Structure 1
Amino acid sequence: MNRYILLSLHVISLVLLGFGWVMDILHIDISVHYIVDFNLFSEKRSVLGMLEKLWKDANYFPFSLIFLFGIIVPLIKSGIIFYLILGKNPDIKWQRFVSAISKWAMADVFTISIFVAFLGANTMESTKAFLQPGFYYFTGYVILSGIVAMFCRKLSSDSVTNNA
Structure 2
Amino acid sequence: MNRPLNWLLAGLLLIGLLGCGWKIWEQATAYERQTLAIIQQLQATSQLENSGRQLLEALSFGLYDGYSQQLADLNRQKALQAAYKASVNQLTALFLLNATLLLLVSWLPRRRSGDLGYAMLTVGIVALAVGLTTPILSVEVSKTLPVLGETVLQFQSKGILTTITGLWSNGNLWLALLLTLFSVVLPLLKTGVAWLTLFSRTHHLSLRGLHLSHHLGRWSMADVFVVAVLVAFFSNNGGGLTQAEVQAGLWFFALYVVLSLSGSQLISRQLRQLQLANALPT
Task: With the length of structure 1 as denominator, give the TM-score of the two structures.
Answer: 0.92
* Structure with more relative contact order (C-alpha pairs < 8 Å, separation 6 or more): 1
**Correspondence for 1:134:** 249
Pair 1:54-2:167 in alignment: yes
Q: 8 Å contact 2:117–2:265 — kept in the other structure?
A: no
Q: 2:273 maps to what in 1?
A: 158
CA shift, 1:108, in A, is: 1.1
Higher Cα Rg, which structure: 2
Q: 1:18 aligns with which of 106, 129, 137?
A: 129
User: Is 1:8 aligned with 2:8?
Assistant: no
Separation in 2, partners of 1:151, 1:121:
38
Name the aligned partner's letter for residue 119 of structure 2: S
1:104 aligns with 2:216: yes
The answer to whether the 8 A contact 1:83-1:90 is kept is: no
In 2: Cα distance, 1:159 partner to 1:149 partner: 15
Shift of 1:88: 4.2
Tell me by how many angstroms 1:29 deviates. 0.4
Count of equivalent residues: 163
The answer to whether the Cα contact below 8 Å between 2:117 and 2:262 also exists between their aligned partners in 1 is no
Aligned to 1:38: 151
Q: Distance in 2 between matches of 1:60 and 1:102?
A: 27
Look up the equivalent residue of 1:96 and give its one-letter code. R
Amino acid at match of 1:76: L
| C-alpha separation in 1, matches of 2:276 and 2:167 | 48
Give the one of 223, 234, 240 matched to 1:121.
234
Q: Distance in 1 between matches of 2:166 and 2:193?
A: 30
Give the RMSD, CA atoms, in angstroms: 1.5
Normalized per residue, the structure richer in helix is 2
- Cα deviation for residue 16 of structure 1 reads 0.4
Alignment partners' CA distance in 2, 1:88 and 1:99: 15
More strand by share: 1
Q: 1:92-144 CA deviation, whole Å, 9 max, x = no partner? A: 33323333333333211211111111111111121000000001101111111
Amino acid at match of 2:204: I
Moved more, 31-40 or 13-22: 31-40
2:117 touches 2:264 (CA, 8 Å); kept in 1? no
Shift of 1:2: 4.9
SS at match of 2:140: strand
Amino acid across the alignment from 1:132: Q
Q: Would you say 1:75 and 2:175 are equivalent positions?
A: no
Structure 2: stretches of 5+ with no match in the other structure:
1-111
Inter-partner Cα distance in structure 2 for 1:9 and 1:19 = 15
Return the letter of the residue paired with 1:157. R
Is the contact made by 2:214 and 2:265 (CA closer than 8 Å) also made in structure 1? no
